[in-house]
Amino acid sequence: MTQENCIFCKIVNREFKTDFIVETQDYVSFNDITPRAPIHALVIPKKHFASLNEIEDVELMGKLLKGAKETAAKLGVADNYRLVINTGEKAGQAVFHIHIHVLGGRSMQWPPG
């Protein structure tokens, strides 16, 4: 998928009406349209990276994790939530723009996969 066809890039560029939970100059978070838990949000960088394997910016990754923490707090699950980053199709990555899933609102099982 090219950056021009990336659904998350289109969300960042406001081509789709999306209510952001958190927005900074570096990232946004919003609710997942196919939730896998009562609370299921995504945190994405505004700059396109296809997966975790492409991003070398450690500072940006720290900001994304901070954004996940802030998103969990705003959604009322600050004490109990799971973060997931899928990398590659076989790992479950469906949109090839790095994103962090913030899952909460129910008990999580282990192992997850």
pLDDT tens figures, 12-40: 999 999 999 999 999 999 999 999 999 99
Token pair belonging to 24: 């900074």
How many domains are there within the chain? 1
CB 50 within 8 A of CB 2: no
pLDDT in tens, 23-82: 999 999 999 999 999 999 999 999 999 999 999 999 999 999 999 999 999 999 999 999
Residue 98 lies in a domain: yes
* 113: in domain: no
Name the amino acid, one letter, at 108.
M
Could you tell me if residue 25 is inside a domain? yes
- What pTM was computed for the model? 0.95
Instruction: Give the CATH number for residue 61.
Output: 3.30.428.10
**Active-site option among 40, 48, 97, 99:** 99
Asked if the structure places residue 84 within a domain, the reply is yes
As a whole number, mean pLDDT of residues 97-104 equals: 98
What per-residue confidence (pLDDT) applies to 113?
66
Where in the sequence is the domain holding 21, given as residue range(s)? 3-104
Is 109 inside any structural domain? no
DSSP 69: H
40 is catalytic: no
| Integer Cα distance of 71 and 66 in angstroms | 9
Tell me the average pLDDT across 82-98. 97
Tally Cβ neighbours within 10 Å of residue 52: 16
